Amino acid sequence: MCGIIGYIGECQAAPILIEGLERLEYRGYDSSGLAVRDGREVQVVKSTGRLKRLAEITDNGKALYGFCGLGHTRWATHGEPSEVNSHPHQSSDGEVTLVHNGIIENYAEQRKKLMARGYSFVSETDTEVAASMLSYYYKKYGREPLRAISETMLRIHGSFAFGIMFKDCPEVLYAARGDSPLIIGRAEDGYYLASDVPAILSHTRLVYYPDNMEIAEIKRDSVRFFNSDLEQIKRDCVEIMWDNSYAHRGEYEHFMLKEIHEQPRAVRETLSRYIKNGEIDLSQSGLTDGVMRELDRLYIVACGSAYHVAEVAKYEIERVAGLPVETEIASEFRYRERELSKNGAVIVISQSGETADTLAALRISRQRGLRAYAIVNVAGSTISREADGVIYTQAGQEVSVATTKAYSAQLAAVYMLCIRLAAVRGRISRRVYDGYIDELTSLPEKIGKCLENQDKMRWLAQSLSGAEDAFFIGRGLDYALALEGSLKLKEITYIHSEAYAAGELKHGSISLIEDGTLVICLMTQDELIPKTVNNITEVKSRGAYVITVAAEGDRAADKVSDAVLYVPKTDRMLMPSLAVIPLQLLAYYLSVARGHDVDKPRNLAKSVTVE
């Protein structure tokens, strides 16, 4: 969602802000802007469209002079994408300049009150209302910035991360957080604020994580933190260990292709964190053997691709570990009224650790007295701090909006969870356990082999670039994978795509199949192959063009498919990690063939941090 960057220090602010916004482009945006101050005077420049336009207008920031400033990339919520609705916003009296990530739900009510007090508005945004709220309380309470921020925070319903400049305070930046992500960076040349680590990683690896309803007062050489009662609190500085090479494409044309090729490493490092001397040890995540033995149910909650990982986990934890699992989309879980087993546990899955609905589900679970664990890629994220324990994936920074390596790392995490659950609950023998470990540790090499057949994927994409509809089908784990394959295709190619359990085709969906319709079939589960072959025959008889993904050595698809994409054989549980690779590559090359912006698909954001 929206990206925030701020700087105060010894260097010219605007070039730093432009660079930071470039690092936040992956979050998704439709417009951008800068506010830079030289003393009391604040210069504001905004533009719609891609960030390069703002960079051109400001000569990459060189046209704006000042050592303090704020930058923003906007993803429209209130008000259409336009220059007037872009951030930064200022109060009508010019006292406050503000950038904001989040949604203020009671902005209409507050707007009416402020208009009655003489404030005027030029935009349709909730953020402009927040700027004027800050101005109102600033003047009401003796021009005390901290008091103004506290009073405003307490009256806002919704979520926010603010970067704030007060006209009368030229040597200070302020920041405030209420559910939306926010970090403060410390460097030798000054201090930074941002909505995400990549924005400042080239300048510093030392960051503070403000908690909910906290305020930061940031000067060139210091930062202080306060709670909403204006009591000063201590925040520890954390060193970020990410490799900055993740932020560069290197030899690859797009970040997505680079990240597809980083999957062997991401899976290997995720596995090696928890597999030592032939044993899976998840105790550091809080999921000790004792906890696993006590569980009578798991609730796995996530959004998007992470939810598709949850579906894989459900199939295999129930089959291998014998533990009932319920999966739910986070935005549904948080609003359902239901009984949850007191001996159960909730596991939320989130790449960023900031996904709004997933975070809400975690909090609700804990409020109801359940243990709540997380599978997360970002240490220090809100979910990682609030969960009872965390299994950390080791995907590194993922820049492309369409997830690839984070998905694969999450699969590795749920495989380990499943196998360890089965072992401690006495569902598998030592021989079977060791066999699973062997297959897990060979997974990165087999993923690497899947990446060797890109020429065929490129050729297929060229021949299919005119497709307007696609259907993904599969049974069991293959259905869970079909959901992910369909999402990958639709989000970066804009081809209408749907995923179905193959057995559901005859219940209505097959009426949509006609000559030339693209059907992608997943067929990696041995015991389900005969049934799936029947489904392929059904769609072929209606004119479908069928591409099948199958394991090497399984030739059942050859006679009924127009093209077959083979992946190495492994244990049935692990097949999604291999079969997803051709689906990712097909979506990537189709997007390229259709001339789309692969890494930044329209209307999408990397991290969904608002409802």
| 396 lies in the same domain as 446 | yes
| 510 lies in the same domain as 551 | yes
Within-domain flag for 439? yes
Structure confidence by residue, pLDDT tens digits, 112-158: 999 999 999 998 888 999 999 999 999 999 999 999 999 999 999 98
| 401 lies in the same domain as 268 | yes
Structure confidence by residue, pLDDT tens digits, 188-227: 999 999 988 888 888 998 999 998 899 999 999 999 999 9
| 234 lies in the same domain as 273 | no
How much is the pLDDT for 79? 67
Cβ-proximal residues to 88 (8 Å cutoff; 6+ apart), any chain: 33, 34, 35, 44, 46, 70, 72, 97, 98, 99
Domain boundary among 240, 273, 301: 240
Within-domain flag for 393? yes
Cβ-proximal residues to 472 (8 Å cutoff; 6+ apart), any chain: 482, 483, 485, 486, 489, 497, 498, 499, 500, 519, 520, 521, 522
pLDDT > 90: what percent of the chain? 65
Domain boundary among 214, 240, 266: 240
Please state the φ and ψ torsions of residue 144, each to the nearest 5 degrees: -105, 105
**Residue 606 to residues 1, 152, 566, Cα–Cα distance (Å):** 7, 29, 30
CATH number of residue 278's parent domain: 3.40.50.10490
Number of helical (H) and strand (E) elements in the chain, helices listed first:
18, 27
Active site residues: 2, 606
**Which of 369-383, 425-439, 457-471 is most confident?**
425-439
| 233 lies in the same domain as 311 | no
How far is the C-alpha of 269 from the C-alpha of 576, rounded, in Å? 18
Domain boundary among 203, 222, 240: 240
Within-domain flag for 610? no
| 209 lies in the same domain as 256 | no
- pTM assigned to the model: 0.82
Cβ atoms of 446 and 452 within 8 Å: the answer is no
How far is the C-alpha of 130 from the C-alpha of 152, rounded, in Å? 8
How much is the pLDDT for 294? 93
Mean of pLDDT values over 418-446? 96
Reduce the DSSP state of residue 424 to 3 states and report it.
Answer: helix
Identify the sign of the CA torsion 521, 526, 527, 531: positive
The overall average pLDDT reported for the chain is 90
Structure confidence by residue, pLDDT tens digits, 552-589: 988 888 888 889 999 999 999 999 999 999 999 999 99
Structure confidence by residue, pLDDT tens digits, 360-417: 999 999 999 999 999 999 888 889 999 999 999 999 888 888 999 999 999 999 999 9
How much is the pLDDT for 49? 81
Within-domain flag for 273? yes
| 376 lies in the same domain as 288 | yes
| 146 lies in the same domain as 229 | yes
| 314 lies in the same domain as 432 | yes
Within-domain flag for 231? yes
Within-domain flag for 602? no
| 470 lies in the same domain as 444 | no
Within-domain flag for 604? no
Mean pLDDT is lowest, of 57-71, 178-192, 241-255, for 241-255
User: Based on C-alpha coordinates, what's the Rg of the chain?
Assistant: 25
Residue 505's domain comprises: 453-596
**Statement: residue 505 has pLDDT above 80:** no
Cβ atoms of 417 and 287 within 8 Å: the answer is yes
Mean of pLDDT values over 253-259? 93
Q: Per the omega criterion (within 30 degrees of 0), is the bond before 15 cis?
A: no
Within-domain flag for 389? yes
CATH number of residue 119's parent domain: 3.60.20.10
| 381 lies in the same domain as 405 | yes
Mean of pLDDT values over 103-109? 90
How far is the C-alpha of 33 from the C-alpha of 253, rounded, in Å? 27
State the pLDDT confidence band at 84, using cuts at 50, 70 and 90.
Answer: confident
Cβ atoms of 61 and 15 within 8 Å: the answer is yes
Cβ atoms of 419 and 262 within 8 Å: the answer is no
How much is the pLDDT for 567? 95
| 262 lies in the same domain as 320 | yes
Please name the helix (run of DSSP H) or strand (run of DSSP E) that holds residue 274, with its range, or none.
helix 263-274
**Statement: residue 242 has pLDDT above 70:** no
Q: Quick count: other Cβ atoms within 10 Å of Cβ 611? A: 14
Strand locations in 150-296, DSSP E? Answer: 158-166, 173-178, 183-187, 190-194, 206-208, 214-219, 222-227, 232-233, 238-239, 275-276, 279-280
Mean of pLDDT values over 332-355? 90
How far is the C-alpha of 446 from the C-alpha of 35, rounded, in Å? 50
Total number of domains constituting the chain: 3
State the pLDDT confidence band at 610, using cuts at 50, 70 and 90.
Answer: low
Mean of pLDDT values over 464-476? 91
Cβ atoms of 16 and 68 within 8 Å: the answer is no
Between these two residues, 539 and 428, which has the higher pLDDT value?
428
How far is the C-alpha of 288 from the C-alpha of 309, rounded, in Å? 22
Cβ atoms of 353 and 339 within 8 Å: the answer is no
Between these two residues, 248 and 399, which has the higher pLDDT value?
399
